[in-house]
Structure 1
Amino acid sequence: MQQSRDVQANAEFDRRATSLEGTDEAVLEELFAIRRTIDNMDAALVNILAERFRATQRVGVLKAEHQLPPGDPDREAAQIQRLRSLAEAAQLDPEFAEKFLNFIISEVIQHHKIIAENHER
């Protein structure tokens, strides 16, 4: 099922889309080759995020079943510090990494709130 969705998404995606008409063909070919790598990484990121959210959904259900709060500030702070360290080691801007994780955490907490509300019914 996942593979057929991947094939369909790639079939609808024009890997050679560009607004850089008139650019040297050799430059465009190099650009398209680099962009293929980026496209592959974007696809991997989406799949990793989907798997992460499936796991956090399970956490949300467990929290709802045991009346635990949707957020865990100590865990979140530890995760942010861990991600900042990983970012530094990977030569990625730690500020960006922290903003990205904060966005994910806020989405997860919203999902946990919804799960808790639905569990109460």
Structure 2
Amino acid sequence: MTKQIKYRRVYEETSPRDGRRVLVDRVWPRGMRREEAQVDEWLRDVAPSTELRKWYGHESSRFTEFRRRYLDELGDSEHRDAAGHLCDLADHDKLTLLTATKDVEHSQAAVLAEWLTGGVRRTAR
């Protein structure tokens, strides 16, 4: 069965095609109340470490290195359980990864979607 995984901004309107909506940011989106986010689950432990997030600063010129470091983090003990849980969710349902990041193509949500669909080697299982 092909996994149905997409990613988008948490601020965008929800869609019936979203399936399970999982926020993958370490911090809650600014200016958004929990009840308006329509998030099924918040997996902050699958997000990049605070250190990596601050280093990256959403500078697209750093994305290649950010991606490499983040993929390494997905296999460490801090991320392993949450990453495994996300894998289980993806195996059983449509999944939409949510982020507050403006440039979603250069975000952890994009890296996670690639990782979950087998586009990169999994280390968190």
TM-score above 0.5: no
Q: If each structure's strand is expressed as a fraction of its own residues, which one has the higher value?
A: 2
Which TM class, normalised by the smaller chain length?
A: under 0.3
TM-score between both structures, scaled by the size of structure 1? 0.28
Q: If each structure's helix is expressed as a fraction of its own residues, which one has the higher value?
A: 1
Q: Which has the higher contact order (CA 8 A, sep 6+)?
A: 2
Q: Which structure would you say has the larger Rg? A: 1
